[in-house]
Structure 1
Amino acid sequence: MNTIYPSLTIALITKNEAANLEACLQSTAGLTDKIVIIDSGSSDATADIANRYGAAFHRHEDWPGFGRQRNRAHQYIETDWVLWLDADERLTPELNQSIQTALKQTPADGKTAFSFNRLSNTFGAFIRHCGWYPDWVVRLYPTAHARYSDDLVHEKVLLPADTQVKKLQGDALHYTYATLDQFLAKQNLYGRLWAEQRLAKGKTASLSQAMVHGAGSFIKMYILKAGFLDGRHGLLLSILLAQATFNKYAALWLAGKK
């Protein structure tokens, strides 16, 4: 991999991402040869693929939640900038070039971070509505000036108050769910972690709230966010996420009754 910007590290957290990792790393060609991967116990070929790309591969199997797992990468990053990717994401050529241009023109002084837009592919179709697109996420920031929140799930980048977030050109293609089993497994995990996190903060829920939030999720995604324009995939996704929303509030209700 030819280094264009030597003061950039690409960072990922992984577990059994052999089906995705190579395509993700291929899409970063030309950016840097510095890659840090924090793995939580892969049993597939994830480590072999990481080694082929010269990544520094570190195992941390005592899972502390998504935010803290990401923050573990900072002890291994020595560059001015870090670009965070998920293994199921791919940089388009336009986004790759936009990152190169931005880093050549921007000092790593904490005054600027960058976000990019994700276009998600679910069950073989790109979803351009449902509230899923545009989907701006902050992923490129000066290493010394930011960290992720410690949230168990739905973690976010914490930036200094005076940091300006600039938008990069081009999309990242996000291959979220290939199968229904994969969707259900991930949503069950996220829902359980969400409920645990809320319960730890003293939050509770009722079964009626679960019903209202579930119904509201469907109305928002399919009608208000024009999910119907995504055809059958939009309908399916809206139904499934309404169910997932109900499930997570139901999990919080049940946890609060113990």
Structure 2
Amino acid sequence: MVSVSLCMIVKNEEDVLERCLESAAGLVDEIIIVDTGSTDRTRKIAARFTDKIFDFSWRDDFSAARNASFSHASMDYCMWLDADDILLDEDRKAFLALKESLDPSVAVVMAPYHTGFDESGRVTFSYYRERLIKNREGMSWVGAVHEAITPVGQTKYADFAVTHRKTHPSDPDRNLHIYQAQLDAGVELEPRQQFYYGRELYYHHRWDEALAVFERFLEEGRGWVENNIDACCHCAYCHKELGHDQAELAALLHTFVYDRPRAEACCEIGHWFLRVERYRQAAYWYALALTCTRDDRKGGFVSPDCYGYLPCIQLCLCYSRLGDQKRAETFNELAAAFKPDSPAVLHNRSVFQALSE
């Protein structure tokens, strides 16, 4: 069985750290905590789980801090978690099964990261992240913010997931300030960082600036295909906010330049036609979304609802607006197969029942 070092960077995490470490207890062989300046009970909580607690002077560089945490690891693999991450019971079991069977020649283990949830706790946003990294193999974190490790060597895709459960919002301006400080210092952002800089501008409602960054990112042609597709979608979101309806649609259609249609983009196009009351065209794109094959291992951001529930519930709406109530009801029941407790499904059922009386 391989051994694993859990390596974490923390600061003022007293409200979530115990929950995180309890979920990882018994799974890993050592716990490394790098503290970047806590003033609360974080260190006392960490000390209940490990004596390997180290200080690191924060310098607006997440990669530097994560690399510092990895430098203290002594086991075969390094695993990272954020303090507001947890491993659910079924994922703990899957993690242990992986640990027992993992071929030591594997350099990187990729695992799903669940970061968005609906009101019933079902996952609505997910993507793969590098989760276990072979120690002392020369791989390191890169990027002051939205840091990542480029896998080198054999990669394995795992079944266990990490669940991200925030209890309070983080500083909404932190990442943007880091990027702006880099740019002010004359740093040229590499493609991945340029992509995430555009996203940070978008989150701050700086639509024109975000659009310019995304368009430059796409024009330079150095981005990873999944980031290119997402950048097109974000160009569309910016155009929408700026009132550029035709440019919004064009940006969404441009996603098809990079790869086969994604259900997420098809649903966005369907919504565009729905918004302008062109229901037959909207129905076409929602139906196309249902034919798209979900492939999380491509590494992009995945919205599971777009591969089932969302197109079905929207097709119900489209056909209802077109006067085809029987077909609309059929799609409502298909949506129910994905989310039987959906308020929209339950509302639609009551409407169809009233129409049949």
Q: Same fold (TM over 0.5)?
A: yes
The offset of 1:143, in angstroms, is 0.9
Instruction: Quote the residue 1:163 is aligned against.
Output: 154
- Partners of 2:120 and 2:143 in 1: CA distance: 30
Of 54, 72, 75, which aligns to 1:76? 72
Q: Matched residue of 1:36: which SS?
A: strand
- Structure 1 pair 44/94, CA: closer, same or farther in 2 (3 Å)? same
**How far does the alpha carbon of each residue in 1:198-242 deviate from its partner, in whole angstroms, 9 at most, with x for none?**
55433699973335667634768896366895xxxxxxxxxxxxx
Q: TM-score, normalised by structure 2?
A: 0.52
Higher CA-based Rg = 2
Cα distance, 1:27–1:207 mapped onto 2, change above 3 Å: closer
Q: Which digits, 9 at most, give the CA deviation of each residue in 1:118-170, with x for residues without a partner?
A: 222579875744xxx2221111121112533331101101322x322x22223
- 3-state SS, counterpart of residue 144 of structure 1: coil
SS in 2 for 1:135: strand
Distance 1:173 1:202, change over 3 A: closer
Question: Does 2:108 match 1:116?
Answer: no
For residue 45 of structure 2, the aligned residue among 27, 46, 49 is 49
Stretches of structure 2 lacking an aligned partner (at least 5 in a row) = 199-205, 215-233, 241-251, 253-263, 269-302, 311-357
1:174-215 superposed Cα distances (whole Å, 9 cap, x missing partner): 013x44xx25x2x31011223334554336999733356676
Matches of 1:211 and 1:15 in 2, distance apart?
33
**How many Å separate the matches in 2 of 1:169 and 1:36?**
24
Unmatched 5+ residue regions in structure 1?
230-258
1:113 Cα deviation after fit = 1.6
SS at 1:100 equivalent: helix
Q: Aligned Cα RMSD in Å?
A: 3.4
Per mean C-alpha deviation after superposition, the further-off stretch among 187-196 and 37-46 is 187-196
* Equivalent residue, structure 1, for 2:99: 103
CA–CA separation in structure 2 for the residues paired with 1:127 and 1:147: 34
- Rounded to whole Å, the distance in 2 between the matches of 1:150 and 1:104 is 30
Distance 1:207 1:30 in 2: 46
| TM-score computed with the length of structure 1 as normaliser | 0.70
Aligned length: 215
More strand by share: 1
- TM superposition shift of 1:13: 0.4
Hey, what's the Cα distance between the residues in 1 that align with 2:46 and 2:19? Answer: 11
Alpha-carbon separation, structure 2, partners of 1:100 and 1:152: 32
| Amino acid paired to 1:56 | K
Q: 1:194 matched to which residue of 2?
A: 179
Q: Provide the rounded CA distance (Å) in 2 between the counterparts of 1:42 and 1:6.
A: 32
Superposition deviation, residue 16 in structure 1: 0.3
Report if aligned partners of 1:39, 1:59 keep a CA contact under 8 Å in 2: yes
